[in-house]
Amino acid sequence: MWDPYTDEHRAFRQTVRQFAEKEVAPFATEWEEACEFPREIFTRSAELGLHGAHYPEEHGGAGGDYWFSVAKAEELPRCQTSGVSLSLLVQGDMATPVISEIGTQEQIDEFLRPALRGEKIAAIGVSEPDAGSDVAAIRTVAKKDGGDYLISGQKTFITNGSRADFITMLVKTDPDAGAHGCSFVLVPTNLPGFQVARKLKKLGHHASDTAELFLDEVRVPQRYRLGDEGMGFMYLMQNFQSERLIGAVNAVAACEIVIEQSRQYGETRRVFGKPLIKRELWQHRFVDLITKTEMCKAFVYKVVDAFNTERYVNKSAISMETVKGISMAKVAAGDLVTEVMDTCLQFHGGWGYVEELPIARAYRDSRLIRIGGGSTETMRYYLAKLMGL
């Protein structure tokens, strides 16, 4: 496998691995059962540079490239709780990149820098009860009132939503203009009219808080709008590329880790007098899983290299070829992780169905990749158009 990492990348990877294995994994079961984890995890991970490694130094980051974010996403599955992993990825890779890319200096100082330091928790607010992958169908409206917006509406499936200090929120500033009527606004959660309606109980990612939000004429200064009015949909599509790509990276890494854990289990689990992994049927299945994972990883790395070159080296817009590659990577990683988790759970037999072993949690958590950030069906719909089908 082609190795794109420098010694600096490798040192950062080791930092993330130690954090995941020593400071999160020992508490994974406790936090999963509590359906939350301490706020201090955000500040501790920020101290280690997890959020800002790939952000410009002038924005409070370390000035690294996108491979730092990839290394982080590959190591976070070692937390043994995807709820923590997802919350940290939202903080540094989903809710905040758009602030760095199009935010004013005031917005960067007030929102981005504190988020990279772990002092403010960030969330991204796009999905609504009647608008998930169909982003242009959102109904949350921002009406102008003097120098402010009055925002009213509802958001749901918001990771970090119940304790976020601000939401990077997509709203309709022109309800009659469809996708061209959307704008991005930074919404502090301590404003009158903002309400966390409830925390949602989920199939997986139990340690992360996923909330439903209500906004009733929340007064937000227009200076908190990100970029130009009416351009929010375009900004979101750009932001989605990083979110989808980092999701694919994280999913493939989870496959590698679960395959290795299962292999170790199979060496100690004896069935009919032999270690389970010595049964030819299972050997062949693991050969297939490892081969497919290597192939998927190679393709994901190819797309990451293109994305990194365009955005971080050339500092240019993402090409349509790279957009196509990102969507293909997300589809492929989603299909792969589904097969890997199902096969490895079956390999564990009855023990795979109880909470004592990590495979049960990994199986549940992996299901989100084919929904979040644009469903697999939506990705294939877009790909069919990009491929001229």
Start-end of CATH 1.20.140.10 domains in the chain = 232-386
Residue 1: band (very low, low, confident or very high) from pLDDT cuts 50, 70, 90: low
Q: Which one-letter amino acid corresponds to residue 301?
A: Y
Start-end of CATH 2.40.110.10 domains in the chain = 123-226
Q: Residue 238 pLDDT > 70, yes or no?
A: yes
Give dist(CA 262, CA 78) in Å, integer: 14
The helix (H) or strand (E) run that includes residue 188 is strand 182-188
Find the mean pLDDT for residues 115-125. 98
Q: What single DSSP character describes residue 215?
A: E
Contacts 24+ apart (CB under 8 A), 91-94: 91/42, 91/51, 91/115, 91/118, 91/121, 91/122, 91/160, 92/50, 92/51, 92/52, 92/116, 93/69, 93/242, 93/243, 93/246, 94/124, 94/239, 94/242, 94/243, 94/246
Residue 283: band (very low, low, confident or very high) from pLDDT cuts 50, 70, 90: very high
Report pLDDT digits (tens) over 330-345: 999 999 999 999 999 9
Q: Residue 156 pLDDT > 70, yes or no?
A: yes
Decide if 90 contacts 115 (C-beta within 8 A).
no
CB atoms within 10 A of CB 110: 18
Report pLDDT digits (tens) over 182-220: 999 999 999 999 999 999 999 999 999 999 999 999 999
Report pLDDT digits (tens) over 211-223: 999 999 999 999 9
State whether CATH 2.40.110.10 applies to domain 123-226.
Answer: yes
Find the mean pLDDT for residues 24-47. 96
Averaged pLDDT score across all residues of the chain = 96
Give me 303's structure tokens.
């797309």
Sign of CA dihedral 118, 121, 122, 123: positive
Report pLDDT digits (tens) over 294-311: 999 999 999 999 999 999
| CATH fit for domain 7-120, picks 3.40.50.720, 1.10.10.60, 1.10.390.10, 1.10.540.10 | 1.10.540.10
Give dist(CA 88, CA 117) in Å, integer: 12
The helix (H) or strand (E) run that includes residue 283 is helix 280-308
Find the mean pLDDT for residues 87-91. 97
Start-end of CATH 1.10.540.10 domains in the chain = 7-120
Give the active site residues.
243
Chain-centre distance of CA 378, in angstroms?
A: 17
Topology (CATH level 3) of domain 232-386: Butyryl-CoA Dehydrogenase, subunit A; domain 3 (1.20.140)
Q: What is the pLDDT of residue 133?
A: 82
